[in-house]
């Protein structure tokens, strides 16, 4: 498999690796950035733009084996988010992050970014995932319902991005001030907008509703601001497991929770997507990093 990939996609700055569990990944090393994506789940596991520290967080306890999700990076949640509403024996966050995707395209852009295109099928949908590894990380999940589908179908999706932070207790997240949210650590109650930047002071698991806004993660210790811009997404999820939930996750180190926060680009619940036969929808996240300026304009 590796040889075939190397022959089909021989581009400077692109290489392929296979780990001891048989997982295959594509590694990007260019002037713009370094990065890695596993074919299982089309899972972006790392991205480090030139001149910055790694932006995505990965657990030291993550699994890297077939059929188990990688803990960190950017899991793709599809066709549902969280536990399956009608059958809790089905995998949390759906099938997309567990199944093999096919690399169908790779090209170096004039900007120096490396663009990868992957595809998979999760009946009745056809999915494509396009990732641009450059001085920004641009990810688009496109979902298509074939013309010959028997009826319209709905789904939830999320680009469940884990960010690396100096200390989650000292960062702030701007952009969601005006959005109401479902508080999943308080009986999934609907809560009004706080009108202030988000600070993480305990287990936090919130689905912000009807928001198209960029989010800016301000990390004063590491003197950087991470911007998460989005298109085709009406929900944004903010998650940190804090102490007790971290201990309950085997693939998450007990002491790792201060080093990460998730800001997830999604369409969840009332914002789930419904497609008629022949229709498609794209969910896009664009991640960029800047030195933290004193300018607080979002
Ligand atoms: O996005 C937040 C969340 O839904 C949390 O409730 C937590 O379950 C997290 O996703 C991780 O889910 P996972 O299935 O990857 O352990």
> Cα–Cα distance between 39 and 124 in angstroms, integer?
21
In the chain, domain spans: 2-294
Q: How far is the centre of ligand 1, averaged over its atoms, from the C-alpha of 215 (Å)?
A: 19
- The three-class DSSP label of residue 6 is helix
Q: How far is the centre of ligand 1, averaged over its atoms, from the C-alpha of 91 (Å)?
A: 11
What is the pairing mode between strands 260-267 and 157-159? Answer: antiparallel
For ligand 1, mutation pick of 90, 93, 241 (most atoms within 8 Å of CB) = 93
Q: How far is the centre of ligand 1, averaged over its atoms, from the C-alpha of 192 (Å)?
A: 22
Residue nearest to ligand 1 atom 13, measured at CA: 92
Q: 146, exposed or middle or buried, with CB in 10 Å at 0-12, 13-18, 19+?
A: middle
Q: Which of 53, 24, 48 is nearest to 35 (CA)?
A: 48
Residue 262 Cβ contacting ligand 1 at under 6 Å: yes
> Cα–Cα distance between 114 and 108 in angstroms, integer?
5
Residue 205 Cβ contacting ligand 1 at under 6 Å: yes
Residue nearest to ligand 1 atom 8, measured at CA: 82
Peptide bond into 128 cis (omega under 30): no
| pLDDT per position as a tens digit, 4-36 | 999 999 899 999 999 999 999 999 999 999 999
- DSSP one-letter string for 132-169: EESSSEEEEEEEE--TT-SS-EEE-EEE--EEE-S-TT
- Stretch 64-74: mean pLDDT, rounded? 98
* Ligand 1 atom nearest to CA at 71: 15
- Stretch 162-181: mean pLDDT, rounded? 98
Position 298 scores a pLDDT of 54
Kindly list the distances between the CA atom of residue 271 and the CA atoms of 117, 174, 213, 242, 286, in Å, as whole numbers in the listed order: 26, 22, 15, 27, 20
Kindly list the distances between the CA atom of residue 156 and the CA atoms of 117, 152, 284, in Å, as whole numbers in the listed order: 21, 14, 14
| pLDDT per position as a tens digit, 90-129 | 999 999 999 999 999 999 999 899 999 999 999 999 999 9
Residue 232 Cβ contacting ligand 1 at under 6 Å: no
* Ligand 1 atom nearest to CA at 252: 16
Position 149 scores a pLDDT of 97
Residue nearest to ligand 1 atom 15, measured at CA: 71
* pTM (predicted TM-score): 0.97
Is the separation of the CB atoms in 214 and 196 below 8 Å? Answer: no
pLDDT category at 86 given cuts 50, 70, 90 is: very high
Residue 237 Cβ contacting ligand 1 at under 6 Å: yes
Position 235 scores a pLDDT of 98
Active-site positions? Answer: 160, 264
For ligand 1, mutation pick of 94, 95, 160 (most atoms within 8 Å of CB) = 160
* Ligand 1 atom nearest to CA at 92: 14
The two structure tokens encoding residue 212: 């198209």
Is the separation of the CB atoms in 102 and 2 below 8 Å? Answer: no
Question: For the domain 2-294, what is the CATH code?
Answer: 2.70.98.10
pLDDT category at 1 given cuts 50, 70, 90 is: confident
- The three-class DSSP label of residue 269 is helix
The two structure tokens encoding residue 59: 């657990």
Peptide bond into 79 cis (omega under 30): yes
Residue 260 Cβ contacting ligand 1 at under 6 Å: no
Residue 264 Cβ contacting ligand 1 at under 6 Å: yes
């Amino acid at each position: 498999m590796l040889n075939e990939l190397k022959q089909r996609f021989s581009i400077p700055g692109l290489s392929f690796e296979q780990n001891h569990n048989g997982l295959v990944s594509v590694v990007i090393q260019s002037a713009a950035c370094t990065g890695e994506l596993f074919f299982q789940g089309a899972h972006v596991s790392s991205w480090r733009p030139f001149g910055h520290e790694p932006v995505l967080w990965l657990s030291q306890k993550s699994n890297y084996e077939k059929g188990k999700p990688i803990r960190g990076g950017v899991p793709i949640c599809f066709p549902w988010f969280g536990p399956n509403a009608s059958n809790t024996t089905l995998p949390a966050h759906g099938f997309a992050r567990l199944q093999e995707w096919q690399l169908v395209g790779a090209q170096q852009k004039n900007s120096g970014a490396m663009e990868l295109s992957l595809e998979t099928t999760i009946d009745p949908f056809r999915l494509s995932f396009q990732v641009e590894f450059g001085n920004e990380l641009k990810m688009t999940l496109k979902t298509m319902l074939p013309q010959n589908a028997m009826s319209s179908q709905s789904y939830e999706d999320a680009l469940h991005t884990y960010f690396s932070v100096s200390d989650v207790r000292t960062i702030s997240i701007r952009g969601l001030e005006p959005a109401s949210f479902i508080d999943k650590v308080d009986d999934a109650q609907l809560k009004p907008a706080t009108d202030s930047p988000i600070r993480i002071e305990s287990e936090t698991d919130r689905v912000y509703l009807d928001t198209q806004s960029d989010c800016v993660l301000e990390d004063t210790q590491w003197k950087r601001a991470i911007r998460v811009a989005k298109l085709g997404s009406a929900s944004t999820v903010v998650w940190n497991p804090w102490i007790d939930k971290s201990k309950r996750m085997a693939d998450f180190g007990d002491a790792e929770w201060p080093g990460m926060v998730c800001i997830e680009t999604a369409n969840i619940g009332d914002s789930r997507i419904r497609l008629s036969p022949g229709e498609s929808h794209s969910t896009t996240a664009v991640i960029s990093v800047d030195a933290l300026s004193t300018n607080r304009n979002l």
